[in-house]
Each structure stands twice: as structure tokens, then as C-alpha cells.
């Protein structure tokens, strides 16, 4: 069947938004594979290096709610353009920097630009596609975003080991500014003729909207889903995975690189599957979230209690389950979408996005502190036991998240029952019709 101009326009806008997110993930993870080079360039230790990642995630988390509110007021296009410009400026500063404070400022700019992009791209998807397609297209955004991580592990590393630091990060800056220019030319907030959902609401009303979002148990279910699913994979991929595999598990650099590549492939490949499940089984979303979390807890526990180095197959299974948490976290945004009207969707999405990155900050910081407290030394000399102790800090984070999911799910189902909604039985997938605001799974 031939596509209409409106459909072609939607996919063109989607492509530019997805490219903006590819560039965002590249910027977010661009320091992960350059840890040793960064330590040498700035004369810093591992603790200071980990603080770079913590600071970047902290800026990202703190800006999520303001960015969500601005998306509701200004529309997503302006935020995507501004976010890419901020990241490009940050990477250019990093390329030219020789002092630690310059690198810190650069990562602050990257974190701020990162914060502005993802929520805005999700809003573009919601505005341009019909509701039944939003879960799958949202996951497709995440799938394409994984390409950014591939770029940070392959071409960027090749540039670092070839032309060097300045050309490598200047190239990232140029790529990012190109994405900003394309957003200016192509991106549109809404389809032609569609009503503009932007709302210049007074600050008092904005606060009331955020409180209303938080009071809805479906929103809280999304918040806790986003808390519990991605932090293990985020911390692993952005900072601690490579040292754990090479120093702790004593794998070769090529094997560690292959496992990180597997992480990217799984995170990308499972996204559309989760999106299709969410669209077909909207009342069973929480079961998928709990299944992802349960698999992460089980495999991590096996790795942490394994006497000595874990088998490669077990490490591969670990990479698979934590990678699945990245697209799994997108289900939290689907809860925000179905639990809130359009005029407060940006704020609700921002609130949701805060949770996973707050948990990531806590984990990245806690692992670094626990390694230091054990006198673990440098990334090249961290012991397996030190890593096992440090990564055990994930367990209470998961416990908090699972309790939050179960409590908010019970409250959501009670609200549905009060509204006269009867949940379909598990053997009747997709029963109950189209999901509307306030519906849970």
C-alpha cells in the first residue's frame, strides 16, 4: 500500500528526531571508552573520572522536570535544537581542553543538552503518530539511539587511537551540530493542520499539573518502572562495565569489547519486541517490567556469588539481561502517556525520566566509593572481590523499585475498579480494547 504524504512526513520527522537521539547517546557515552586517555590528559585518578559521569547524570536528572515543562510550553523542536547545540559546544570545549575544570564544564554542557533531547523526541513521536503506534515507535527511538553507543565504542575509539583526542572530540562536535541544523530544517512539533498542544500556562498551574501527575498512581507506576529497569545497564555501559570485565573478570580487551557490543545489539533488538508487547498487551506491562528486573537480579546474584571468575556464558547472560533493561525502561514513558492528558505530558515524562537516572547516579557513585573504601587502586588493578562487594549495592535499589511498582500497581488497579474497568484475564491478550489515559498493565 502506498504511503500518503502525511505518513511520509511523519517518518521523515521521526528520522530526524531519531538521529538527534543517536547523537545524544554518542555524546552521553563518548567518555566511557576514553577513561585511560582522560586520566592521562588531565592527570586525574579514577575517583575524579567517575565524578565526571556522576556530574553529567546529575545535570541530566535535575533538568528533566524543567525540560518537560518547557516542552509543554515551547514545543519539542526548540528543545531538540538547543540540546544538540549545547552538546556540540560541550564536545568542542572537551576537544580543546587541557585542564580538569574545562572538562567538567564540557560534561555539564553535554548533560544539559542530553536532558533536553530525549523527552522532546518522545513528544514528537506522540504528536505525529496515532496512539496505537506510539509504543513501537518509542522503542524504535531507543533502538536507533543504541547506534550512538556503537559510534562511541568503534569510530570514536579508532579516532582516539589514531589522530588523537582533539580530532576525535571535534568530530563528535561537528556531527552533533549537523544534527542541530537538520532539526532546524526538518523537525516540526505537530503535523500540518493538527492542533498545537503547547500551553503557556502560568507557573502556579504548572506546579498544579506536576502534582496532579504525581497523584495519579499510573504515573507513579511509570516512575518506579523507570527506576528499577535501566540503572544496572546504564552504569555498566557508561563507566564500570569495561573495568569489571577486564580487571575483575580478567577478560581480554577484545572479549570485553565483544560483550559490550552484545549489550548494544540486545538493547536495540529487544526494543521493538517490547514495544509490540506493550501495544498488544497494555494491561500486562507491569509483568514485563517485573520479569526484566527479576532476570537482572537473578543473573547478577549468580555472578556476584560465583567462586572466582564467572564463565563467559554467564557474563554474556548478564549483558543480555541488563541490556534488556534499557528498552524496558521505555515502558515507564508509556505509563506517563496513558495516565496524563496532553497538556501535562511533558512534565510527566520528565518526572519519569528522572527516576532511572537518579538510580544510575546512586549506583555509579556507590560503586566508585566502595571500590575506594576497599583500597581497590586503579582501573587496571581492581580486584574481582572488590567489584563483587561494590556491585552488591544494586540489590537495595532493586528492592525499592519493586516495592514501588507493586504498591503503585495495586493503587492503579483500585482506581480502575472504582471507575468500573475490569482487567482482562491473562489468557485473553489484548482484550479490553484500546488503552486510554489512566489504564494500567
Which residue ranges make up each domain of the chain? 8-188, 208-418
Say if residue 47's pLDDT is above 80.
Answer: no
More confident residue, 45 or 268: 268
More confident residue, 93 or 32: 93
pLDDT tier, 415 (very low <50, low <70, confident <90, very high otherwise): confident
Q: Which three cell numbers stand for residue 258?
A: 565483544
- The span from the CA of 305 to the CA of 351, in Å, is 35
What are the angstrom distances between the C-alpha of 80 and each of 13, 54, 113, 140, 261? 12, 23, 8, 18, 28
What are the angstrom distances between the C-alpha of 72 and each of 66, 195, 206, 344? 10, 13, 10, 7
pLDDT of residue 95: 92
- The span from the CA of 404 to the CA of 222, in Å, is 10
Say if residue 177's pLDDT is above 90.
Answer: yes
Compute the mean pLDDT over every residue in the chain, rounded to the nearest whole number: 85
pLDDT of residue 432: 42
Query: Taking the model in full, what pTM does it have?
Result: 0.76
More confident residue, 74 or 198: 74
- The span from the CA of 60 to the CA of 44, in Å, is 23
pLDDT tier, 6 (very low <50, low <70, confident <90, very high otherwise): low
Say if residue 4's pLDDT is above 60.
Answer: no
- The span from the CA of 429 to the CA of 5, in Å, is 33
- The span from the CA of 180 to the CA of 182, in Å, is 5
Geometric angle at alpha carbon 172, from 247 and 359, rounded to 5°: 50
* Closest to 423 in 3D by CA, of 233, 284, 323: 284
- The span from the CA of 438 to the CA of 441, in Å, is 10
pLDDT of residue 61: 82
Say if residue 129's pLDDT is above 80.
Answer: yes
Q: Could you say which architecture CATH assigns to the domain 208-418?
A: Up-down Bundle (1.20)
Q: Compute the average pLDDT of residues 349-373.
A: 86
Are 8-188 and 208-418 the same fold in CATH?
Answer: yes
Terminal C-alpha separation, the chain: 33
Tell me the Cα Rg of the chain.
Answer: 21
Residues with Cβ < 8 Å from 352, sequence gap 6 or more?
219, 222, 223, 226, 332, 333, 335, 336
In which region does residue 321 sit, left (phi positive, over 0), alpha (psi from -120 to 50) or beta (all else)?
alpha
Q: Could you say which architecture CATH assigns to the domain 8-188?
A: Up-down Bundle (1.20)
Amino acid at each position: 500500500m502506498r504511503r500518503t504524504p502525511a505518513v511520509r512526513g511523519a517518518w521523515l520527522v521521526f528520522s530526524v528526531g531519531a538521529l538527534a537521539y543517536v547523537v545524544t547517546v554518542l555524546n552521553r557515552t563518548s567518555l566511557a571508552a576514553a577513561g585511560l586517555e582522560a586520566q592521562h590528559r588531565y592527570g586525574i585518578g579514577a575517583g575524579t573520572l567517575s565524578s565526571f559521569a556522576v556530574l553529567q547524570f546529575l545535570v541530566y536528572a535535575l533538568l528533566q522536570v524543567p525540560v518537560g515543562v518547557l516542552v509543554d510550553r515551547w514545543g519539542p523542536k526548540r528543545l531538540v535544537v538547543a540540546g544538540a547545540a549545547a552538546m556540540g559546544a560541550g564536545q568542542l570545549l572537551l576537544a580543546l581542553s587541557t585542564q580538569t575544570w574545562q572538562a567538567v564544564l564540557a560534561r555539564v554542557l553535554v548533560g544539559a543538552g542530553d536532558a533536553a533531547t530525549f523527552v522532546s523526541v518522545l513528544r514528537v513521536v506522540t504528536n505525529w503518530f496515532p496512539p496505537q503506534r506510539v509504543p513501537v515507535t518509542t522503542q524504535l527511538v531507543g533502538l536507533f539511539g543504541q547506534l550512538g553507543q556503537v559510534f562511541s565504542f568503534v569510530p570514536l575509539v579508532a579516532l582516539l587511537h589514531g589522530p588523537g583526542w582533539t580530532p576525535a572530540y571535534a568530530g563528535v562536535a561537528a556531527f552533533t551540530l549537523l544534527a542541530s541544523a537538520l532539526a532546524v530544517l526538518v523537525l516540526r512539533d505537530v503535523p500540518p493542520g493538527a492542533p498545537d498542544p503547547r500551553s503557556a500556562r502560568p507557573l502556579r498551574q504548572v506546579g498544579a499539573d506536576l502534582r496532579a501527575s504525581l497523584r495519579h498512581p499510573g504515573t507513579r507506576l511509570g516512575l518506579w518502572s523507570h527506576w528499577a529497569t535501566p540503572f544496572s545497564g546504564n552504569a555498566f555501559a557508561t563507566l564500570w562495565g569495561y573495568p569489571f570485565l577486564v580487571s575483575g573478570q580478567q577478560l581480554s580487551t577484545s572479549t570485553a569489547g565483544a560483550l559490550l557490543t552484545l549489550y548494544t545489539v540486545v538493547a536495540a533488538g529487544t526494543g521493538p519486541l517490547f514495544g509490540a508487547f506493550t501495544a498488544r498487551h497494555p494491561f500486562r506491562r507491569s509483568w514485563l517490567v517485573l520479569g526484566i528486573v527479576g532476570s537482572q537480579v537473578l543473573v547478577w546474584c549468580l555472578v556476584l556469588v560465583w567462586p572466582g571468575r564467572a564463565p563467559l556464558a554467564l557474563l554474556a547472560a548478564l549483558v543480555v539481561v541488563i541490556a534488556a533493561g534499557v528498552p524496558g525502561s521505555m515502558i515507564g514513558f508509556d505509563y506517563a502517556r496513558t495516565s496524563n492528558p496532553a497538556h501535562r505530558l511533558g512534565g510527566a515524562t520528565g518526572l519519569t525520566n528522572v527516576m532511572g537516572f537518579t538510580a544510575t547516579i546512586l549506583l555509579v557513585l556507590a560503586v566508585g566509593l566502595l571500590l575506594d573504601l576497599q583500597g581497590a587502586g586503579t582501573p587496571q588493578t581492581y580486584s574481582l572481590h572488590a567489584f563483587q562487594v561494590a556491585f552488591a549495592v544494586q540489590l537495595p535499589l532493586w528492592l525499592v523499585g519493586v516495592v514501588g511498582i507493586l504498591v503503585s500497581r495495586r493503587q492503579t488497579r483500585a482506581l480502575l475498579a472504582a471507575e468500573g474497568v475490569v482487567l482482562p484475564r491473562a489468557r485473553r491478550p489484548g482484550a479490553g480494547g484500546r488503552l486510554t489515559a489512566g489504564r494500567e498493565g
